[in-house]
């Protein structure tokens, strides 16, 4: 079983969505990551593993840049950011859109994808 880094609750304000108002009115998105590592760090040294603070910043930056229609597309973009680090073998990305305009009260709308590093 690989070691995993879990970073949950990355909050980003951005303009993603299908509807015209979503493209101009920023709303909250919350991102959760579960990254499986390779190889397993064997020494107590940050340079031998994924720096989760740096990863969170890179993910937040990617989520803020360039509006997309679907949170599925946003999750795919974020998985690419994570898998650009060769120490991440697999990533599970969940993008929550708690203020999604669905016409009825909901606590959350989210999509989860899992992607592997093929290199």
Residue ranges of the alpha helices (H) in 15-103? 20-24, 52-64, 71-83
**CA 119 – CA 116 distance, rounded (Å):** 9
The residue length of the chain stands at: 119
Alpha carbon distance 39, 22 (integer Å): 41
User: Do 109 and 92 touch, CB atoms closer than 8 A?
Assistant: no
The β-bridge partners of 115 are 91
Catalytic residue list contains 97: yes
Contact 5, 68 (CB under 8 A): no
The residue annotated as part of the active site, out of 37, 50, 96, 97, is: 97
Catalytic site residues? 97
């Amino acid at each position: 079983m690989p070691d995993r880094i879990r970073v949950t609750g990355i909050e980003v304000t951005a303009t993603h969505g299908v509807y015209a108002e979503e493209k101009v009115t920023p709303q909250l998105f919350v991102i959760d990551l579960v990254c499986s590592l390779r190889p397993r760090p064997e020494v107590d040294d940050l340079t031998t593993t994924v720096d989760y603070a740096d990863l969170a910043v890179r993910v937040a930056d990617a989520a803020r840049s360039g509006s997309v229609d679907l949170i599925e597309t946003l999750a795919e973009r974020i998985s690419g950011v994570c898998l650009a680090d060769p120490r991440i073998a697999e990533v599970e990305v969940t993008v929550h859109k708690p203020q999604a305009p669905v016409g009825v009260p909901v606590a959350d709308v989210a999509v989860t994808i899992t992607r592997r590093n093929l290199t």
